[in-house]
Amino acid sequence: MSQNDMHQVDADTQLDLLPMVTGHRHHQDGNDEREIGQKDDYSHLYMKAHLPKTIQYVPPLNFSLVEDGIYRSGFPMPINYPFLERLELKTIIYLGDLGQEKKEKKEKKDKKEKEKDKDKEKDKDKDKNTTLEVLANYKQWIDSTDITFHHLMMESSQEPFLNQDRIKQAQESLTTALQLMLDRNNFPMLIHSNKGKHRIGVLVGLMRKILQGWCMSGIFEEYEKFAMGKSEIDLEFIELWQPELWVDDQWRPDFVRC
């Protein structure tokens, strides 16, 4: 590359190449003495400096197509945002409990157990702050788009002491989600939980049963594929629960069979 070509290279690259093309530095190559900048070819450096930056499109955890216009996944992270933008989503439904305060009763324990509890509480506080920050960043990204976001509270059925209040809350959230899925004006749509396994597995299972008339064996097989194991509570819930839904035939999705 000659000095006349230097104006074509950006400032940073110029600084890198300047020692190569200025002065009268020489090196010995066998018996031939060559002047750097006259015979050495640095065109590959020029090309590398001007290659456009590529964007990596990384799907979220457990991402998959459910039906035309509906996708499922785990909780999206910043690295997934460019990928989601390519989907041109209209709606995102989050079934989860991030950002919700949990009140738990403390049991009486001896001194050693209390010390252990203090350490655990510190770890929980760190985790809570981290998840709240992730959720805040996620909502900030959504606000920068035209996506309609629905945060539907639903705690994991894997947690112990599942009570009637939690069951009622889950039923209300799942009914709302299914109702949104019955309107194709909301498509393309992403439905996700924290890991895209159990809670979304329940929602998709209910969709297969109520909206599409799948047999239970097929529903359970799909659930286990993403959950990587059985959850008797979830499977029983899918089989027994039957919510009341309504659909506007004008905006009825093509995949609805029932």
Terminal alpha carbon distance of the chain: 70
Angle at 115 between CA 121 and CA 110, to 5 degrees: 120
Q: Alpha-carbon distance 94 to 258, whole Å? A: 25
User: What pLDDT does residue 54 have?
Assistant: 79
pLDDT at residue 18 tops 50: no
More confident residue, 160 or 171: 171
Mean per-residue pLDDT of the chain: 79
More confident residue, 158 or 28: 158
- 3-state DSSP call for residue 246? coil
Q: Alpha-carbon distance 198 to 235, whole Å? A: 10
Q: Which of 5-19, 128-142, 228-242 has the highest mean pLDDT?
A: 228-242
96-119 pLDDT per residue, tens: 988 765 444 334 444 455 555 555
User: What pLDDT does residue 152 have?
Assistant: 97
User: What pLDDT does residue 19 have?
Assistant: 42
Q: Alpha-carbon distance 232 to 236, whole Å? A: 6
Q: Any idea which architecture 64-100+122-240 has in CATH? A: Alpha-Beta Complex (3.90)
Angle at 92 between CA 91 and CA 93, to 5 degrees: 120
Spans of all domains in the chain: 64-100+122-240
- The residue-averaged pLDDT of 246-252 equals 95
- The residue-averaged pLDDT of 213-227 equals 96
- Residue that the structure tokens 């909502």 belong to: 139
More confident residue, 81 or 257: 81
- The residue-averaged pLDDT of 169-182 equals 97
127-139 pLDDT per residue, tens: 445 678 899 999 9
